[in-house]
């Protein structure tokens, strides 16, 4: 029996989840390479770019007095979102201790949908926010990747132009040297012929 393999875009390169199970496989630029992540893996690999409670994607990191950072990873949450999930120490002036959902529970998944939702391809409000956050992060990463690729292409084009110019200058210099050598050799031949004629005349 022949089995047709799924295209790379249909499988998460991190957990091997298929598009049928996760609804969407995101194409994302990650560690200078194009990767395919399910929604859960994409968010777990981009802590710090979104609030893990309300799933707002950050354009800029919230100011220090408006954020709480996870004690174990780079995840950053809005202070107002994280306070109900944080703990305080005996010192009331101390910063609350916050663990993001994935650090608090290693089995936590950002995106869970039922079999019925997979069939109908519908999601609840929370899952929609999660999907939207992952899609925004993927879009931004691909835009940055495209910009980096354009910059690299332009840099290489400039380097190629400089190399061509140097090669042309080198060829022109070589041609000039060869012309001078030919001119000097021609003068030597003329001098030898003149000496020969003078010797014949004297005899």
In order of 24, 109, 116, the CA distances from 121 in angstroms are 10, 18, 8
Contacts of 156 (CB under 8 A, 6+ apart): none
Long-range pairs for 120-127: beta carbons < 8 A, 24 or more residues apart: 121/23, 123/23
DSSP type of residue 98: -
Give the domain ranges of the chain: 1-47+109-173, 51-99
Q: Which whole number is the average pLDDT over 95-112? A: 89
Query: Is the distance from CB of 165 to CB of 88 less than 8 angstroms?
Result: no
pLDDT at 1: 42
Distance CA 203, CA 196 (A): 11
Give which of 113, 111, 117 is closest to 52, Cα–Cα: 111
pLDDT at 70: 93
Distance CA 48, CA 46 (A): 6
Mean pLDDT computed over every residue of the chain: 80
Distance CA 10, CA 22 (A): 10
Range of 82-96, 109-123, 169-183 with top mean pLDDT:
169-183
Question: Which tens digits make up the pLDDT trace of 123-133?
Answer: 788 888 999 99
Question: Which tens digits make up the pLDDT trace of 56-78?
Answer: 999 888 888 889 999 999 999 99
Stated length of the chain: 203
Distance CA 142, CA 138 (A): 6
């Amino acid at each position: 029996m022949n089995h047709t393999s799924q295209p790379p875009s249909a499988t998460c390169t991190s957990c091997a989840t298929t598009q049928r199970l996760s609804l969407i496989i995101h194409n994302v630029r990650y560690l200078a390479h194009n990767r395919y992540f399910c929604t859960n893996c994409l968010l777990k690999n981009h802590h710090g770019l979104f609030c893990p409670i309300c799933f707002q994607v950050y354009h800029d990191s919230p100011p220090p007095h408006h954020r709480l950072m996870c004690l174990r990873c780079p995840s950053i949450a809005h202070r107002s979102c994280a306070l109900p999930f944080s703990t305080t120490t005996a010192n009331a002036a101390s910063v609350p201790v916050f663990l993001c959902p994935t650090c608090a529970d290693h089995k936590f998944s950002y995106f869970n949908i039922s079999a019925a939702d997979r069939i109908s391809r519908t999601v609840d409000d929370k899952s929609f926010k999660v999907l939207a956050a992952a899609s925004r992060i993927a879009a931004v990463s691909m835009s940055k990747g495209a910009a980096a690729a354009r910059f690299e292409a332009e840099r290489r084009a400039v380097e190629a132009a400089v190399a061509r110019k140097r090669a042309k200058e080198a060829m022109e210099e070589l041609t000039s040297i060869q012309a001078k050598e030919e001119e000097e050799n021609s003068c030597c031949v003329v001098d030898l012929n003149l000496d020969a004629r003078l010797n014949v005349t004297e005899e």
